[in-house]
Amino acid sequence: MKVILIGGYPGSGKSFVVKKLIKLLREKIKGDDFQLLQKYSMDYMLKRAKDRDIIVMGLYDERQKFPGTDRFGMNVQPLFEQFVREQKDDNTVIVLEGDRLFNGKTISFLWSAGIPYNIVIVQADKNLVHERRQKRSYQSETWRKGRETKVDNIAKQMPYATYINNNNEEQAEIGASRIWQLIRR
């Protein structure tokens, strides 16, 4: 089993990169499409490949105001840990992004449980991030700064993190390809 944790500043385009990853997975892994499932109030998408199951936490429907894990409750941490413990297949890869689970508690849990993980940090031009955030009037300045500090702290502690840029669609697709390579390892 492996977990890929995707984080970044609010407005960096984490959910957009994961949407591109889902598109890539549909192209690379032929056969049945994603199964939409729910366990412990956590929505997730399951894609079965020949040699592994790929679980993308959250839903990425275009109509969703809060895609990915943003819909999860603030109490999701213990539910996620239980979900991970229950995964039986050693070849399962879990991909998640967003504020709810991209945190030190998740990293500590994975480390103490001996579960390999990769950290991916999505970055974008500061002005572009600001433009994207302007569309989200529900995010206060205090909340935003707190999330940026959390991402910065994780980045400092994880010098081996994978960094991807997301200033345009092409970069998002390249980022999705890099995540695909992490899944395949």
Q: What is the mean pLDDT of the chain?
A: 90
pLDDT over threshold 80, residue 91:
yes
Measured N-to-C along each axis, helices 14-28 and 169-184 cross at an angle, to the nearest 10 degrees, of 60
Report the percent of the chain where pLDDT is more than 70: 96
The sign of the dihedral angle between the CA atoms of 145, 150, 151, 152 is positive
pLDDT over threshold 80, residue 32:
no
pLDDT over threshold 90, residue 133:
no
Number of Cβ within a 10 Å radius of residue 20: 23
Band of pLDDT at residue 56, cut at 50, 70 and 90: very high
Q: Identify the burial level of 170 via C-beta atoms within 10 angstroms of its C-beta, where 0-12 means exposed, 13-18 middle and 19 or more buried.
A: exposed
CB 174 within 8 A of CB 168: no
pLDDT of residue 150: 94
**Structural domains counted in the chain:** 1
Nearest CA-CA partner of 46 in 100, 87, 8: 87
Mean pLDDT for 108-135 is 92
CB within 8 A of 185, min separation 6: which ones? 2
Band of pLDDT at residue 69, cut at 50, 70 and 90: confident
pLDDT of residue 71: 80
Helix (H, G, I), strand (E, B) or coil at 8: strand
**The model scores a pTM over 0.85:** yes
Mean pLDDT for 39-50 is 90
pLDDT over threshold 90, residue 59:
no
Q: The CATH number of the domain where 40 resides is what?
A: 3.40.50.300
Predicted confidence (pLDDT) per residue in 146-182, tens digit: 999 999 999 999 989 999 999 999 999 999 999 999 9
Domain holding 145, by residue range, is: 2-184
Band of pLDDT at residue 63, cut at 50, 70 and 90: low
